[in-house]
Structure 1
Amino acid sequence: MLWLGLAYLAALAALFVSAFWTTDSFTGETVRDWNVDNFVSLFSDGVYRSITFRTLGVAVGVTLIDALIAFPMAYYMARYASVRAQRILVIAILTPLWASYLVKAYAWRTMLAPNGLIGWLLHPFGLDSPGYGVTATLITLSYLWLPYMILPVYAGLGQLPQSLIEASTDLGARGCRTFRSVIFPMVFPSVIAGSIFTFSLSLGDYIAVQIVGGTSQMLGNVVYANVGAANNLPFAATVATIPVVIILLYLFAVRRTGALDNL
């Protein structure tokens, strides 16, 4: 763990240092000339602000969608399913993680195509497939990261004493009040744990966006483009600092709530 921590911190340090360098427009070589030109370009250009807000919105949207889907599934698994059924359901949730990321992303690309499965299912209702774009990115990323939300919530619900729910019922609380006052506060740390995975993974993703995002761009795509075709490593490092800072701020906000102390 110490070596992994040092390697990770060293990589982040190299990232931040190279963000203050520039690229020679003629030779394409990195020039170790210390300046803040990359940050000026990043914050002064409205395109990058739009991409940042779009990326943040997608990450938040994926987290909320996964939480809404994961909670009833995890609740059924933890409170109603038999022990044998729980094992089967856990295996079923883990099984998609064994498949290749690219296979799953391209499967959604095929289904979201104008003549794909989604369009065929929606056609009788007079609707068309969402095609490729932000909606397709939300759907694909929500599917990819859903297991990372279900499993922590399932583990949290499994530790919830049945006596608390029975006591709430005996005191006259209805189902909604029991959920609001007893169940959700107890499982909130598990939801936070799952949100860290879904939020951070969505914030830095670029492969799924390349496959199903259409013309929509996210921060990961900008980094990828500057590392590859543009060959502008310093600017790529500058853009990469945005999701790192957002993740640090999110972890700080989560830490302030005290939810991580109860994990």
Structure 2
Amino acid sequence: MNTTANTTPPGPPPSAAPSAPRGGTTPAPGGPRRRLAAILHRRARLRLSLLLSAPMLWLGVAYLGALAALFVSALWRTDTFTGDLVRELTWANFRELLTTEVYRTIALRSVGVAAAVTLIDLVIAFPMAFAMAKLAPPRAQRWLVIAVLTPLWASYLVKAYAWRVLLSADGLLGWGYGLTATIITLSYLWLPYMILPIYAGLERLPNSLLEAAGDLGARGRRTFRTVVWPLTFPAVVAGSIFTFSLSLGDYITVKIVGGRSQLIGNVVYDNIGAANNLPFAAAVATVPVLIMLAYLAAVRRTGALENL
């Protein structure tokens, strides 16, 4: 009897597992990228540090570095005969600022204009922001925010020259040029920067607090004084930082509608251009920086910055 031989070569058992690579361990799926992602997921501080490293580096180099260069150049002087820059450290520019009455007057005038612009914008912005946040329906709020932002899309010079036409002797208002025209123009230019922070603060204010104040018998004035104003004060501070600092350093508006008025920005511009005295211009430019540092320090004592 003939038997047929099985010619199929034997294969590995079905249950046999593939042999592990030499070394005894299997590599983790994903490799180094997966392990790095796992480390960042577990360490929130490291993740935050890496996220903020590039912006902080840019801030340190571009902003703080520029301020340091400004302060160092303010300690130099310009040779009165040749007009050359002398890189010798001296406090002569700052002594001239402190001892010359005209520069003290200009500094006080600049602070007064910035404070007036901030106050005017606050008086106008608060009721507008309250109406946007608490009285207007949700759909209308979006359109009102767009309406507030629309003037920012126009050119700064176009808006400033439009006010020049209105305030000129032959213009619609005819008030002439000077500090009044400067305050009006700056108040218009920086008004959106006051409205938007206050609107954001009022939008976060719960309506239940206003209803509770009304249920307890508080009238509108007392509700504003005890509920609305304390909770929105940080937003007011945020808006005032914008309006005050932008008005304090502005010089273009003063050139356009200010007439013969002089503010800090104009003194800086004139010493860079016509007078060619860069060290003194740098010394004058440190005045707004010091004023803003003092303002921020005063605001911080109120605790408003911690609640922004």
Per-residue CA deviations over 1:68-106 (Å, capped at 9, x if unaligned) read 000000000001111121111111110110111011101
What are the within-5 Å matches in structure 2 for residues 1-263 of structure 1?
A: 1-6=55-60, 7-119=62-174, 129=175, 131-263=176-308
Unaligned runs of 5+ in 2: 1-54
Deviations 1:129-156 (A, max 9, x none): 2x11110010000000000000000011
Partners of 1:254 and 1:242 lie apart in 2 by 18
Letter in 1 for 2:286: T
Supply the distance in 1 between the matched residues of 2:294 and 2:150 (Cα, whole angstroms).
33
Higher helix proportion: 1
Q: What code does the residue aligned with 1:71 have?
A: F
In angstroms, what is the RMSD of aligned CA positions?
Answer: 0.8
Measured after TM superposition, the shift of residue 262 of structure 1 is 1.0
**Aligned-partner Cα distance in 1 for 2:64–2:228:** 38
Paired residues in the alignment total 253
Identity of aligned residues (%): 69
Report what 1:125 is aligned to.
none
Letter aligned with residue 275 of structure 2 = A
CA distance in 2 between counterparts of 1:259 and 1:11 reads: 28
Task: Tell me by how many angstroms 1:3 deviates.
Answer: 3.0
- Residues 220-242 of structure 1: per-residue CA shift (max 9 Å, x gap): 00000000111000000010111
Q: Tell me how far apart the structure 1 counterparts of residues 84 and 68 of structure 2 sit (CA, whole Å).
A: 21
Q: Please, which runs of 5 or more residues in structure 1 have no aligned partner?
A: 120-128
Q: In structure 2, how many angstroms separate the alpha carbons of the residues matched to 1:228 and 1:97?
A: 29
Q: CA deviation at 1:4?
A: 2.6
Q: Which has the higher contact order (CA 8 A, sep 6+)?
A: 1
Q: Quick check: which has more Rg, 1 or 2? A: 2
Aligned equivalents of 2:217, 2:165: Cα separation in 1: 51
Paired AA for residue 180 in structure 1: R
> Runs in 1 of length 4+ with deviation above 6 angstroms?
none
Helix, strand or coil for the counterpart of 1:205?
Answer: coil
Letter matched to residue 64 of structure 1: L
The Cα of 1:28 is off from its aligned counterpart by 1.4
